[in-house]
Amino acid sequence: MLDADLRRHALAARGFMPEDEGDALYVAAVDAAQHARGPFLEVGSYCGRSTVWLGGAARAAKRTLFAVDHHMGSEENQPGWEWHEPDLVDPRTGRMDTLAQFRSTIIDAGLADVVVTVVGDSPVVARSWSTPLAFLFIDGGHGVEPATLDYELWTPHVALGGTLAIHDVFPDPADGGRPPYENIYLPAINSGHFEEIGVTGSLRILRRR
């Protein structure tokens, strides 16, 4: 399991990753390193809560974690939405800015040596990416377009035997938004390239075959 000190930092960080799902994410990432070569990559880091679990896994597996986020907040983080946090708005621009909070989380957790901060729009970064991934965690924008693009542009980079983790997957519409389920999870399963190997809460773990 995750080192006790890192767990303390993960739980103290702002974000929306439940503890049991964070633990499952850590286990899945460590396990992924036994089945495929390549680094880990996270799409959607927010303030770094899930990144601490994955950074701990990267250290344990002797891999590097690339954390991709434009840090201007997803659709559901904007004013008027349920998950908006007003104190994370930059008063100069009136836009969300989570980069400083994210960097503080990673530095305070002592993970700067294994976590590479990639500041940019997910599709832009994905179109320039060429390295096979042992582990891909998608937890970016939850709208139809960003979810679809994350699936189409990132999942081809998962190495054979590698792992795809998807957050906020809700088969029942009453439990949450649809895009992570309809535009990432179902296409991955229906592609025939992935098989489900784990479920914890809204977290789904799939293996590339």
Active site residues: 142
Q: What are the backbone dihedrals phi and psi of residue 191, each rounded to the nearest 5 degrees, phi first?
A: -70, -20
Transcribe 51-67 into DSSP letters: HHHHHHHHHHHT--EEE
Q: CB–CB of 108/9 below 8 Å?
A: yes
Closest by CA to 48, choosing from 85, 87, 100, 84, is 100
Nearest CA among 170, 137, 156 for reference residue 29: 137
CA distances from 77 to 74, 103, 194 (A): 5, 19, 30
Contacts of 11 (CB under 8 A, 6+ apart): 19
SS percent in the chain: helix, strand, coil, step 5: 40, 20, 40
